[in-house]
Amino acid sequence: MSLINSILTTLYSKRLKAIEHFRRFPWEVQAEQFRLLMSYGAQTDYFRHYDMHAYDSVETYQRRIPVVNYDDIQAEIERMRRGEENILWPGKVGWFAKSSGTTGDRSKYIPVTDEILHQCHFQGGRDTMALFAYYHPRSKAFSGKTLTLGGSHRLDPLGGGVQSGDLSAILIHNAPGWVNRLREPSTHIALIPDFERKVDAICWRCSKQRVTAFVGVPSWNLVLMNRMLEYTGTDNLLEVWPDLSLFIHGGVSFAPYREQYRRLIPSSQMKYMETYNASEGFFALQDNLSTSDMLLMLDYGVFYEFLPVGELDRPEKAVTLADVELGVNYAMIISTSGGLWRYMIGDTVEFTSLAPHKIRITGRTKSYINAFGEEIVIDNAERAVSAACAATGARVLEYTAAPIFMEGRAKGAHQWFVEFSAPPSDVMLFAETLDRTLQEVNSDYAAKRFKNTTLMPPQLVVARKGAFYRWMDERKKLGGQNKVPRLANDRKYMEQLLKINAL
């Protein structure tokens, strides 16, 4: 065991026992979290509106508090952003994590309270280190610096003295001093808002450092790592950082990127550890790297409920952890110390183990593209297509879109397969308007498209007449109840359509 791993294991021995406790007694721990959350919730206007009290039961909570999405509580969150107190959480909330995904707005703003910051987000980071050090005692992952690719933050435009920004920027800004001593780059560089300037500064500074681990979203980091190779004139990252041995990743599926990272880091000692963290909280982590499922973390100030995907229109069918089953696709509902009450986060999960409770992420409750962290949803796509038609006089019969994954040093893009009933007056203008509108309605897509940072302009494929009909016919999906999938996060449908279009 390396010295740093030995120290980490000793420091976190008490925490490792607590993790073992909720592995063995999951519902008892979740019941404790519920009671704690109710004591906070009872101090809010939200609970008073629904006549909820600190000592009400889980059954009462499920009966009185509705399952909500962001649009349902947007008015309350805007009041909090203006500095009002005791709305969804006691007192004033000073930070909001900015994220796209709403139907009506460019961004959504998730409250980040002191409680969820320290008891959930930071605890998730500490537990990730503790479990990795415990299960991989010979690894050098924590013997050098950990490279973190952060975002930016600023004062909220609504006033009230609060700040909003990427969750990563909020975490960096509020991190304790000892974390900053282990992390690269410096806080000043990490919070540079211009991504290209940030990457150049990281290459200048971190090419000289002993980096042994890095953390972040696979797509963003792939851009950084390819830039590092260009900056240093090397063929792989081990020539820059010989002891690089761990990538802690999350945000988007790692599957499309795995082989590319293996080429970038050709080492049998390199480990990849997935975490399930979002603006709303830190929920699960991969404790056993030989399997792809993740351990659900049960004592982070989060109370979980799960609604079978087939029952999305019947929220009364939501169950607690005590009643989940293996192999069922569930929409996850969370109540958190961030002031989210019965909030449907939009992710779907499946339990792969009940002793302990382990999950795998199966998708989203709605069609989407999130291959690069851009989270394009149906509403974004419909608005963009409508704007492109208006600009070119086109009429769209059917369309679908899918990602073009990064390959080597090439950047990603979106491919749109569109069948027109009336063609556009200018195909290039159609594609440009589509792209521009997506940037206007989705801030995460705009960030990836900024200066072609992660995403290149979308590729438009004009379908031959009848292509979608032939495709649906081949799949035995003709008929009014069957719909063309508008968005997909993989290329299965796209490749089928391209093949038909070539015939």
The 3 state secondary structure assigned to 403-460 is: EECCECCECEEEEEEEEEEECCCCHHHHHHHHHHHHHHHCHHHHHHHHHHCCECCCEE
For residue 300, the model assigns a pLDDT of 98
**222 and 111 within one domain:** no
pLDDT at position 336 is 98
Q: Two tokens at 97?
A: 């994590």
d(CA 500, CA 389) in angstroms, rounded, equals 25
Question: 8 and 54 share a domain?
Answer: yes
> Looking at the DSSP assignment, which residues form a beta bridge with residue 413?
404
395 and 303: one domain? no
Q: Is the peptide bond before 185 cis (omega within 30 degrees of 0)?
A: yes
d(CA 150, CA 165): 10
Q: Are residues 162 and 221 in the same domain?
A: yes
C-alpha to C-alpha distance for 18 and 221, rounded to whole angstroms = 32
**Does any domain span residue 280?**
no
Residue 384 CA to residue 258 CA, distance in Å, equals: 31
Would you say residue 279 lies in a domain? Answer: no
231 and 257 assigned to the same domain: yes
**Which residue has tokens 């109540």?**
335
378 and 491 share one domain: yes
Domain shared by 247 and 343, yes or no = no
Asked if 253 and 233 sit in the same domain, the reply is yes
**Predicted local distance difference test score (pLDDT) of residue 103:** 40
Q: Cis check for the bond before 137: say yes or no (omega within 30 of 0).
A: no
The answer on 262 and 146 residing in a single domain is yes
Domain membership flag for residue 130 = no
The whole-number pLDDT of residue 104 equals 43
Residue whose C-alpha is closest to residue 244's, from 220, 215, 223, 219: 215
**Last residue within a domain, chosen from 336, 364, 392:** 364
Whether residues 258 and 354 share a domain: the answer is no
Work out how many domains the chain is built from and give that number.
3
pTM score, two decimals?
A: 0.82
Report d(CA 185, CA 115) in Å as an integer: 26
Residue 298 domain-assigned (yes or no): yes
With tokens 């761990």, the residue in question is: 246
What's residue 98's pLDDT?
86
Residue segments in the chain with a per-residue pLDDT below the cut of 70: 1-5, 100-106, 153, 155, 478-482
Report the alpha-carbon distance of residue 127 to residue 292 in Å, rounded: 18
**Residues 141, 280: Cα–Cα separation, whole Å:** 27
Is residue 299 assigned to a domain? yes
Looking at the structure, do residues 379 and 468 belong to the same domain, yes or no? Answer: yes
Coil, strand, or helix at residue 274? strand
What count of other Cβ atoms lies within 10 Å of the Cβ of residue 489?
19
End residue of a domain, out of 308, 330, 364: 364
Provide the residue range defining the domain that includes 91: 3-115+293-364
| Same domain flag for 334 and 388 | no
**Backbone torsions φ then ψ of 470, nearest 5 degrees:** -60, -40
The Cα–Cα gap between 101 and 366 comes to 11
Structure tokens given for 42: 């009872």
**Run of H or E residues at 212:** strand 211-216
> What's CA 331's distance to the chain center, in Å?
15
- C-alpha–C-alpha distance, residues 435 and 383, integer Å: 11
Q: Contact 248/287 with Cβ under 8 angstroms? A: no
- Say which residues have a Cβ less than 8 Å from residue 119's Cβ, sequence separation at least 6: 300, 301, 337
What is d(CA 110, CA 341) in angstroms, rounded to the nearest whole number? 12
| Beta strands in 18-107, from DSSP E residues, in sequence order | 95-99
Q: Is residue 340 part of a domain?
A: yes
Of 324, 339, 364, the domain-final residue? 364
Smallest CA-to-CA distance from 136 within 5, 290, 267 is with: 5
Rounded distance between C-alpha atoms, residue 386 and residue 103, angstroms: 15
pLDDT at 3: 62
Q: Which of 12, 158, 183, 169 is nearest to 97 (CA)?
A: 169
